Structure 1
Amino acid sequence: MTDADAAAEARRIIADAYRPLPQIPTAYRDTTPLPAYGPTPPVPQPDHRIVPAWAAGTAVAGIGVGATCVGLGCGIWLACKGFAAVTLTSVLFVTLPIAAVAAVATAIGAALRSLKATHTVTHHHYAGPVRLENNTITAPAYGLIARNRHELNR
């Protein structure tokens, strides 16, 4: 190959390397004109899911059941470990369910009391006239050791 042929081949290879790639559209734009008034017609959106909906629901339920079983197993293991060792932690672990039952009983009692309180009648025990004036309290405190003087300005 001569120098001229080599130079021509090199120019061709460089030109092929730097040739712009064809533009491939990455999105679809619907060019159909919209109606002048009224709702826009729906655009079909085909469903291309690989897994059917019932199978996905079953998988999620299985994950939930598995996580629940693992949690219960860890709780039972911790309970057995706590009952086996007589330490402050084990005593607290034994009293924790009792405290939980007491908290639930307190919450139920508070809920019942609030339901009972909704039927009460509010009665005000004052019978004098009400004065609405500009009542401001001035409380100046100056210096390192302050003497508080509260003055009611009427």
Structure 2
Amino acid sequence: MDHDRTAAPLSADEADARARQLITEAYAPPYEVPTSYRDETEPTAYVPTPPVAQPGRPPMSQRATDASALMLSGSVAALSVGGATSLVLYTLGQVDPVTLAIGATGPVALVLAAGSLLKAVGRAKAAAAPTEVHNHYTGPVRQESTTVSSTTKGLFAKNRNDVR
């Protein structure tokens, strides 16, 4: 029953009856809204695809990533040292060039000496590797070999001894 807008207005009883009819139709079944949906179509077959470069840092090997992180952290350290040096020079006002050269080359020489020391320690450790031993026996021999290795890890020492 459509109401024509050009027709005469409804009386109060007719308007009340029409409102009740609309409310009854609005709340009449089926008024349930589905809360879930199951897609019954078969998924597409798996197809391997090549990797795609993502936005941000470009893909690199693990060694290159480690070197990049080391350079970034070194640049932050150099920035703080340079800033502190600039602040000291600014507060002093005037500095002798010889004193400045000695102060600037001191940390570099220390880093180079530490690197040389670490390389020497690494070479010494590699040279101290145990040599292979060959034993030749005649007759019945019983030979036993025991190796004990100890590993300590963590803030609080946790010893673990493996006996082989």
Fold-level similarity (TM above 0.5)? no
Identify which of structures 1 and 2 has the higher relative contact order when contacts are C-alpha pairs closer than 8 Å and 6+ apart: 1
* TM-score, structure 1 normalization: 0.38
